Amino acid sequence: MTDPFFLSILLLALLAIGGLSIGLAMICASSVYLALKGFDSSIAAETLLQGLFNSYTLLAIPLFILAADIMNVGSLADRLLRFAEALVGRFKGGLGHVNVVSSLIFSGMSGSAVADAVGMGKIIIGMMTKDGRYSASYAAAITAASATIGPIIPPSIPMVLYALVSDQSVGYLFAAGMMPGLLMGLVLMVMNMIIAHTRNFPTDTSVPLRDIPRVTFQAIPALLLPVILLGGIYGGIMTPTEAAAVAAFYALFVSVTFYRSVSIKQFYQTLLGSARSTATIGILIAGALTFQYVVTRENVPVSLSNWLAHFELSRTGFLIAINVLFLALGCILESGAILLIIVPIFIPTAQALGIDLVHFGVIVVVNAMLGLITPPYGLLLFIVASVTKEPLTKIVRELVPFLIALFIALGIITFVPDFVLWLPRLLGYRG
């Protein structure tokens, strides 16, 4: 008789390939496994509900999504973009630098790569392609590459998902993402500078020096959001979930009171959009929780750990293998599925090799984000392609130098743990 676990994996793959959402596919596959094993099918529902209702941290996800959506519909994104333009727009290839810097700033508020690409990305692509100063494919490529920074710099929805499966502190994970996120922004700006000089890109019209104080003043209410958010978390005033609620309220308060840019109708549409996004992630989490029960019943993590022990991999060898595996998985799976299904399998091995789990979390999240711009799946590639109407092949060709730069950053993040853990340790982390 065919093994029930093998059949559930086969069914999961077939349903996903057939176009069913990965969350629903996991729920179906788990239900089939339970039926073939003769278990009560209510176990799936019980596991799902216990996982969702016992995790207070998960409440942060819809709140961060709402905060990002409010910033997009309001004028916060516009003012932040103008501020970034005032900072770096005067250099050669300036709008490319503005693209990266705006992602660095916006990522301190949204926690989502997709929110960054859809919100700020649409605006900056329009600015870059105006009057033919940059090709649409180049604008799309650097927008997709810079959007990967969003979930690395806190707040970060993927970090919340990793905290769920690893039982690590969300606050320390947020802190651990700060330096890697800045490094990713730096290597992208260096690559943009090299390309700008090689191709002789124009020096863009910059914000006059006399206007910089005014632009900065107009952006201050928006710029205060990450200060309030992170200051509250690390000052011990708020939990990450409470901080997410504050972020959503503050974004709405600033948009309505200071910028007067959100109507009741727009706010209603924003709530609907946030609810849809939350439901999509919720189904994925629900599916992952039920499928984790199957994986645990089959003792997969321990079996895999014992199998890897036969190869006598060193810590370095294991980390290289993890990077190769997750980059490959990123080509075909979405980041949430990787973090919720695949990562828990490798956590016992990482612990056995003495790898710090906060450092490991940053590694897997960075890999998952790079998967968003890695063909053939590359969700961010499809988003920027739909915005620019450019062929995917042209965007990928322009993306290659930025991918190389990000792989260099990934190498530093992977093999220099002190670089990642410096800030968490400064804030009291003892790992």
Contact indicator for 174, 230 with CB cutoff of 8 Å: yes
Residues 76/248, Cβ–Cβ less than 8 Å: no
Q: Kindly tell me if the per-residue pLDDT of 288 is higher than 80.
A: no
Residue 203 carries which DSSP code? B
Closest CA to 68 of 255, 227, 323, 305: 255
- Average pLDDT over all residues of the chain: 81
DSSP secondary structure string for all residues of 268-292: HHHHHHHHHHHHHHHHHHHHHHHHH
The pTM assigned to this predicted structure is: 0.79
pLDDT at 287 over 60: yes
Q: Residue 141 and residue 397: Cα distance in Å, rounded?
A: 9
Q: What is the DSSP letter of 58?
A: G
Local confidence band at 28 (pLDDT 50, 70, 90 cut-offs): confident
Phi, psi of 331 (to 5 degrees): -70, -25
Q: What is the spatial distance between Cα 417 and Cα 422, in angstroms, rounded to a whole number?
A: 8
Rounded to whole angstroms, how far apart are CA atoms 170 and 212?
36
DSSP-H helix ranges across 254-342: 264-297, 300-309, 315-330, 335-337
Tens of pLDDT along 182-237?
A: 999 999 999 999 998 898 887 766 667 777 788 778 778 777 777 777 788 777 78
User: pLDDT, tens digit, for every residue of 329-370?
Assistant: 776 667 777 888 888 888 988 988 899 999 999 999 999 889
